[in-house]
Amino acid sequence: MNIIWYHPSMSAEVWLEGMRERLPGVSVRHWQPGDNGPADYALVRKPPNEMLAGRHDLRGVFALGAGVDEIMAQLRDNPDLLPDSVPVFRLEDTGMAIQMQEYAVCQVLNWFRRFDDYRQLQQESRWLELPEYRRETFTVGILGAGVLGQSVAQSLKPWGFPLRSWSRSKKQIDGVTSFAGQESLSDFLQGTQVLINLLPSTPQTVNIINASLLAQLPHGAFFLNLARGAHVVEDDLLAALESGQIKGAALDVFQVEPLALDHPFWRHPRVTVTPHNAAVTLPGESMDYYAHAITLLEAGEMPAGQVDRQRGY
């Protein structure tokens, strides 16, 4: 069995050695330009087209991360690059869920306890006790109810906030009010005090968070983006922040990364910026998944995480 690996920035050695330990006797190599050798499986992030072109015998392609938008975009632009018969897999958790939970809980509590407001008062040297938010009306709405969305919802349950989710199809999540389909999006937004974005990145979700959507939230709502920068019309978000429609935003992802030095998000008093690290790929946990998935495929079974190439996630 032969596995090829490619990532534009990660060190290859940790991954090659780790996969060899987990799959003894298997050939695992760092793909380089000009490598047309045999390959049964590919582990990739932003692979050059040359890496996959003509490899019609691949038994599986695995994304080195939770998002598959980059490779799906490649396949849309190059329909003949990879036959439909070759399954593509995403990482469904492998340690990312707990990281997303930490980020979301920390930020929601930061807003609920008004630490953002107290930070500004501190800068003004003002001793002022602010009215508290009411827990029963501090509704948290999660856009996207996949593995990570459901995990974040579960992590917020112990804090007693009303929880709701919106997704393409209706989900049954204990303690969470589920909305599904475009026709229910307005109902989902009305009353959502904190909007958390965990949508998959597809052509249908690009720029979904725009002036029209933000205007349907209660005045003074909060926005947390843990998914992709492509979901957000940044000028619309800035306008909503300036008007007070959105009281605060925590952004981990952006239309262009790294965020330009002159971007107004850096200096906006109501915006928190982090460098796309809300949940990072953990090599150990990820390699455990890849090794297990490949073992299942070799046994004729289908592992979790297969991407629906029509939907894009």
What is the H or E stretch that residue 249 is in?
Answer: strand 246-251
Q: Which of 22, 263, 270, 276 is catalytic?
A: 276
Nearest to 202 by CA among 71, 82, 88: 71
Asked if 86 and 59 count as a contact pair (C-beta separation under 8 A), the reply is yes
Omega before 258 cis (within 30°)? yes
Q: Find the Cα–Cα–Cα–Cα dihedral 6, 76, 166, 253, rounded to 10°.
A: 50
Tokens representing 295 are 């073992």
How far is it, in rounded angstroms, from Cα 279 to Cα 253? 11
Nearest to 149 by CA among 197, 219, 81: 197
Asked if 41 and 62 count as a contact pair (C-beta separation under 8 A), the reply is yes
Q: Which of 228, 231, 267, 292 is catalytic?
A: 228
β-sheet bridge partners, residue 273: 251
Angle between the N-to-C axes of helices 115-123 and 96-112, in degrees from 0 to 180, rounded to the nearest 10? 60
How far is it, in rounded angstroms, from Cα 219 to Cα 57? 54
User: 10 Å Cβ neighbour count for 116?
Assistant: 17
Q: Which amino acid is at 166?
A: W
Is 135 known to be catalytic?
no
Is 276 known to be catalytic?
yes
Tokens representing 298 are 């070799």
- Would you name the residues annotated as active-site residues? 228, 276
